[in-house]
Each structure stands twice: as C-alpha cells, then as structure tokens.
Amino acid sequence: MCGIVGYVGSEQAAPILLEGLTRLEYRGYDSAGIAVLTGSGPKVAHAVGRVRDLQAALPKRLSGKVGIGHTRWATHGPATEANAHPHRSADGRIMLVHNGIIDNATALRSELEADGVQFTSDTDTEVLAHLIGRSEAPALEDRVIKALQRITGTYAVAVLDAQLPDRIVVARQGSPLIIGIGDREMFVGSDASALVRHTSQVVHLDDGELAIVTAGGYETFTADRARTSKQPEELTLRADELQLEGHDTFLHKEIHEQPTSLERMLSGRLDDRFATARLDGLGIDARELRGFRRVKAIGCGSSFYIGQLGASMIEDLARIPADAEAASEFRYRNPIVEPDTLYVAVSQSGETADTLFAVREIQRKGGRVVGLVNVVGSSIARECDGGIYLHAGPEVSVASTKVLTHMGVGFALLALLLGRVHDLSYADGARIVAGLRALPSQVQQVLDSEDEIAVVAKGLAQSPSSFFIGRVRGYAVAREGAQKLKEISYQHAEAYQASELKHGPLALISPQMPTVAIVPDDELVERNLGALHEIAARSGPVIAVTHPGVEFGDLAAERIVVPHGEVELDPIVLTIPLQLLAYHAAAALGRDIDRPRNLAKSVTVE
C-alpha cells in the first residue's frame, strides 16, 4: 500500500528519500515519485515501476535539503506517471504526497473544474493539492487545515511549499504517519522501516493531528491550532532485521525464523506454578476475565482465518462460545456489541483500516477490545484497551507466515488463561503449557523436511486449481493454506470443510483437481478419511498433511507428516508445511514471491 517518506535537514534529501522508498518497497506499490526543494526551485520526478526506475528518471541536478517521496498503490486511476505522487497545485508551489482515500474527491473535483482548475491526473489526491494551493491563509499549516476541512475520508499527508523551503507540514486522519527525530535533521514516514536507517526516536501522530517539521524540531497541534504534547518513543525495529541474511526471499527467511521467534514470544509468558499464561499487557484481572461470556475475534484475510483458529482454541480450552468475523464485514453491519464479550482485534501491521475502524466501532458501543498485534506502537495496538504483542519481529514479505503462527500462539495463551479462570484443570493447563513449550522444536522438525515438501509443491504448482480441505480445527488451517498458495503462486485454490465436499464441490473432483487434506490424528480422523474415500472414488489426487500413524492405504498419493503434540495446539504446526508448499510452488512458477502482484502488505484503505 502507499508509502510516504520525507526529509528536512543538512544532507542531500534525494538519496535519503530514495533509500526510504526502497525500504517501503515491501508494502507493495506500482509507481513512485519524489519532490525536492532545490536552489533553482522545486524538482519533481515520477516513474512507473520500482524505485530503481525512479532513480533512473531523476533530473541530473537535484541538490536540495528538503523533500518528500511516495510509493503509490493505485486506487483512483491506473499506475501512470501522471497519477504518481507528489501532486502539485496549479501554480506549482504546493507539492503533496497522500496515503488514504478522499471520499468526496469527485464532488470537489467537479467544483474545482467548474472554477477553471485543470487536473493533470485521475487521482483523488490532486484535489487536495489544488485546495491547499488556492487557499488564501497566510501560513502553510493554515492552508493545509482549511483544505483538510473540506475533505472527508482518510489521509496521511506531507506537504511542501516552494516558498517555505525549511519545512514539511504533515497531517494524519486514519492513515499512519510518524516523525523521526535526528540531530538537526528530521524525517517523516508512513512506516518505521522508512526511517530505521537514520533514527530510533519517533513520534506517532494521532488522528486529527498536524505537525510542522523543520530541521530543528517539530511542533504538533490540532486543527483548531491547539498545541499537543508528544512523547518520543524508541523504535524496536533494527535496520539489520531488514536484510535477507542468505535467504533468496524474505518469505523464506521469515518461515525459517519461526522456531527462534516463537521461543522469544513465549519467554516469560508461561506460568508453571499455576499452569497458566502471563499476559499482563491485557490489563484484565482474573475476576474481570471470568465475567466474559463470549469471545469474538476480528481481523482481515489471514488474520481473520487465524482468528477462526483462535476461536476454536478458546472454545476447546475455556469452554466459552467464541467465533471470528472478517473485520471488513463486521464494521458495516451495525454489529450488536455485548458488554460481556471480549473482542480481540488481530493484525500483523496494526494499521489495517477495516480492523482499525471495527475496533473504533466496538469501543464506540462500549465494548472491550484487546489487540493481538505485531507492530509495536501501531494504531490498533495504541487504540485497543490492552493486548498481546506478538514479538515476531519485522515481517517484510507481503504474504504473512511467521506472524500468523505467532497469532496462533497468542490465541493459545489467551485460551489457556481464560480456561484456567474457568474450568480448565491444573493438569490440562500443565499439558498445554508443556505443549506450547514444545512448539518451536516441532516447527523446526517440519522445516527440516523442507526438501520433501518442495518436491510435493512442484507437482502442486502444475495444477491451475486445487482444493484445501479440513474439518473443525483443520478448516481454518485449510483456509490459510489455500490463501497462501493463491497469494504467492497465483494458482487458484479453494478451501472447504471436508464435511461439505459431498454437498457440492465433489462435482469438481477429477484426476486434474488435487486436494490438500488436513488430517490430524484427532477424534475426527475417521471422518476425514471418509472424505478422502469420496475423493478417491472420483480419482482425485490427494496430498495429506497429517500426523505419524494415520493409515491412508491408497487414499493419498503424497503425505506430509508433522509431529503430533497437543490436539488443541496441533493446528499451529499443521500450517507450517502449507507455508512451504506455497513458497515452493511459487518458486517453481518463477513468481515474485515477496511482492505478489496486486497485493500490499498493509491495507490502510477501506
């Protein structure tokens, strides 16, 4: 999704902007641009494609110490140079980069065009550049405030004025924006990764805030010019965490980081004495926890699927009703928010607009919502009423892998805690504590069988379409497996409950339609094998992801066997081979694994 970077200081701005944009590349985008205030006036360059294409398009002389840059993920209008940011006011004085969506852009555009303004792009953003350019307020920040008052929608903006070459004015409403503090230089970014090479001290703007950023510092305020006070925070992200370290892709690196990152996440969170979990960040004591009669997970995409997995863990261990819903739907259906429901917002980035707005809707209706979030200090993490940080480290690849595993473990910890304040016995609590402790080595065992999984993946890659099936706990695993394959290999994959096959999709089973079947060694194993009989009778090839000792006979041509632990936790380990299947299928097809087409890492638009 779109990325913003800005610099004001004593160094040349262009190389710093390009470096920041390169670090934002992982978010997914289709075009990029920068604007620099030089001694001979503002210079703006745009390019379709990668940051290296922008670098090639830069003017020869680009000497200036103030600038802004942007990577664009097309929403209004295709990926063209004309639509790439920065956008300019008609007189060229104002330059602007914007993340988010201006909902009333069409009406404002008609109004401006009727007034003689000629637009040069199809974007919603250009409206804002013209509104600021036409404002008669004396100070840049007042012009920005006046223009923003005319728009509805979401934004993070960074604005340059050619006549005020010492500053960047920034504003935030619904899209993240941070200010990086340097020594007589300041940075602006939509994402900490854009700033991490230069500073570890940052300030997060809140919704409704603006700031004037100069080389000497920053001043934050609201739209009515009331000063706000901000406490700088230490970035937890390190620049060396954003290196490939010998892997061919970030996805491969992130899959292999899991044993270590899981150890880190579990450290200090398992309580052997009381056979429970320590989750102080939730900020909910045992008595309050007992009062919750229901749990509802909300998230988008894969985070929603892991929410579904988490709900089944909570029902298994705590025996209270739990379910999951796509945050993107939840917020639009006037949801009934119950006071005795614990809502759990699930998000890697902590910036997904649909999830963030669902959190606000729950809070507006008086509900209690905690976050299961990876990015420290992100909007969802800050706005929730407590939570569990996932501590997976940065995830660069657009497709999520390690963070999803951490989400599964986060739900297991929450289920254990809720279980122990309800009716989960000490013995069962101790069994889950031991099971969680064993997870990193079980994940490592799956990773050790990567070569065999790669062979199976090469076969799967040849099929333009496949089914992923699972039952109860295995269904969420199947959904996530199908999602991963689709995202990075572009092969069609559809997840189904194994029990539902005979109610329709069986019609599609043929020798050309493989099925990846999740068959854990649990109380449903015979039922799962029954579904495989239905597939075998129609000559459908089966890849079984299973546990040692499950007897398939001729039912599955391929088997991927993973270690068997505690049944409630097994779905977490069962997702790991599906990550490797998707990775190797995508590699066999020569896909751009870390930056799949059309997708963005952090979906900050609705």
| Residues binding ligand AGP (CB under 6 A) | 300-303, 347-349, 352, 355, 398-400, 487, 602-603
Least Å distance between CB 419 and ligand AGP?
A: 25
Of 412 and 600, nearer to ligand AGP (C-beta) is: 600
Interacting residues of 385 by C-beta distance below 8 A, sequence separation 6+:
283, 363, 368, 369, 370
Least Å distance between CB 401 and ligand AGP?
A: 8
CA 280 to chain centre: 24
Query: d(Cα 88, Cα 125) in Å, to the nearest integer?
Result: 10
Residue-wise over 92-114: b if at least 16 C-beta within 10 A, else e? ebbbbbbbbbbeebeebbeebee
Report the residue number whose CB is nearest to ligand AGP: 301
3-state SS, 295-335, equals EEEEECHHHHHHHHHHHHHHHHHHCCCEEEEEHHHHCCCCC
Are the C-beta atoms of 276 and 417 separated by less than 8 Å? yes
The β-bridge partners of 160 are 95
Of 42 and 301, nearer to ligand AGP (C-beta) is: 301
Catalytic-labelled residue, pool 2, 253, 402, 484: 2
Of 301 and 429, nearer to ligand AGP (C-beta) is: 301
Are the C-beta atoms of 560 and 528 separated by less than 8 Å? no
Of 352 and 528, nearer to ligand AGP (C-beta) is: 352
Nearest to 509 by CA among 541, 552, 461: 541
Q: Where do we find the tokens 């001729």? A: 554
Least Å distance between CB 400 and ligand AGP?
A: 4
Q: For strand 368-373 and strand 465-470, is the pairing parallel, antiparallel, or unpaired?
A: unpaired
Least Å distance between CB 603 and ligand AGP?
A: 5
10 Å CB burial of residue 239 (0-12, 13-18, 19+) is: middle
Of 203 and 578, nearer to ligand AGP (C-beta) is: 578
Least Å distance between CB 349 and ligand AGP?
A: 3
10 Å CB burial of residue 136 (0-12, 13-18, 19+) is: exposed
How many Cβ atoms are within 10 Å of 263's Cβ, its own excluded?
A: 13
Are the C-beta atoms of 156 and 210 separated by less than 8 Å? no
Angle between helices 402-421 and 426-448 (to 10 degrees): 170
Classify 3 as helix, strand or coil. strand
Are the C-beta atoms of 296 and 336 separated by less than 8 Å? no
Of 251 and 536, nearer to ligand AGP (C-beta) is: 251
Handedness of CA 118, 123, 127, 128 (dihedral sign): negative
Q: Is 2 a catalytic residue?
A: yes
Of 241 and 452, nearer to ligand AGP (C-beta) is: 241
Of 7 and 330, nearer to ligand AGP (C-beta) is: 330
Cα–Cα distance list, 314 to 15, 59, 320 (Å): 50, 58, 7
Cα–Cα distance list, 156 to 77, 172, 175, 338 (Å): 19, 4, 5, 33
Least Å distance between CB 407 and ligand AGP?
A: 8
Of 404 and 562, nearer to ligand AGP (C-beta) is: 404
Least Å distance between CB 182 and ligand AGP?
A: 28
Nearest to 200 by CA among 210, 189, 212, 208: 189
Q: Where do we find the tokens 């209008």? A: 77
Least Å distance between CB 336 and ligand AGP?
A: 23
Are the C-beta atoms of 335 and 366 separated by less than 8 Å? no
Of 38 and 352, nearer to ligand AGP (C-beta) is: 352
Tokens, residue 37: 């205030």
Catalytic-labelled residue, pool 296, 402, 486, 601: 601
User: Taking CA 322 as the corner, what is the angle to CA 316 and CA 326, rounded to the nearest 5 degrees?
Assistant: 130
Active site residues: 2, 601
